[in-house]
Amino acid sequence: MRLQNLVDDLLDLSRLESGGWVARPESVSVEEVANEASSWCMDAANRRDVSIEITPMGTVYADRQGLLQSLRNLLENAVRHSEQGGIIKVTARRVKGDFVHIEVSDEGEGITAKALPRIFERFYRADSSRARDIGGTGLGLAIVRHLIEGMGGQVEAESELGEGATIRLTLPFSKSCEVSEQQNPAGTGLPSLDEGIQDPAVGLANSVTLFPGSEKDPIA
């Protein structure tokens, strides 16, 4: 099973890196997608007595299947890195500039400052000594980065060792405010969580494959 997952993820990532996937953005209910994504993780979460908490969310302008796969990968990763009885939180908020921040936070072991900039690289492990125990293919976060950037968005991570980790997706709220290289040529200029929130709305967690024939839902 683990080998098959690795093959599936390699195929997914290869297609994303070669430009073989084109996003089809639309107005998407973040709450609906988050609930669907969490269903893939419930068995693993229950075995570890890990809770997934999601608050009511608004909408975002994104490719639905791409967002679904991204949230599934982030939740699966958070479950693997959570301690027994831990809590994973999924939240979203609309921020100044008509963007939406979607965050997945865990209470796991956290990531060192040295490792943090590299966690979206393929096969990178912040703690390689625990790779066998934690599981996963080492490609999930790389896939998330390509999917979100393919939708005109941005991915960031915040963490301190021993304090858990938060992965933040920044996506447009509507078509008129898509993130582009012209708007954000150096990866800057996007609103931060500290900037004014226009509409504090915005989480609850529950499915997917990138391509037919794998155990995930295809991103067509």
**Looking at the domain assignment, is residue 142 inside a domain?**
yes
Whole-angstrom distance between the N-terminal and C-terminal Cα of the chain?
A: 24
pLDDT of amino acid 19: 77
The lowest-confidence range among 5-19, 32-46, 196-210 is: 196-210
The domain in which residue 111 lies consists of 2-18+27-177
pLDDT of amino acid 186: 36
The rounded mean pLDDT for the chain is: 76
**Looking at the domain assignment, is residue 163 inside a domain?**
yes
The predicted model scores a pTM of: 0.74
List the beta bridge partners of residue 154: 170
**Looking at the domain assignment, is residue 211 inside a domain?**
no
**Looking at the domain assignment, is residue 192 inside a domain?**
no
Here the tokens at position 209 are 């494959």
**Looking at the domain assignment, is residue 74 inside a domain?**
yes
Give me the mean pLDDT over the 95-120 stretch.
90
**Looking at the domain assignment, is residue 197 inside a domain?**
no
CA–CA distance, 116 with 110 (Å, rounded to integer): 9
Give me the mean pLDDT over the 45-54 stretch.
94
Domain total of the chain: 1
- Domain with residue 95: its CATH number is 3.30.565.10
Q: Is the pLDDT assigned to residue 170 strictly greater than 90?
A: yes
If one compares 200 and 42, the residue with the highest pLDDT of the two is 42
Give me the mean pLDDT over the 183-197 stretch.
37
The lowest-confidence range among 49-58, 107-116, 146-155, 202-211 is: 202-211
pLDDT of amino acid 11: 63
**Looking at the domain assignment, is residue 207 inside a domain?**
no
**Looking at the domain assignment, is residue 185 inside a domain?**
no
- 116: Cβ contacts below 8 Å, ≥ 6 apart: 126, 157, 159
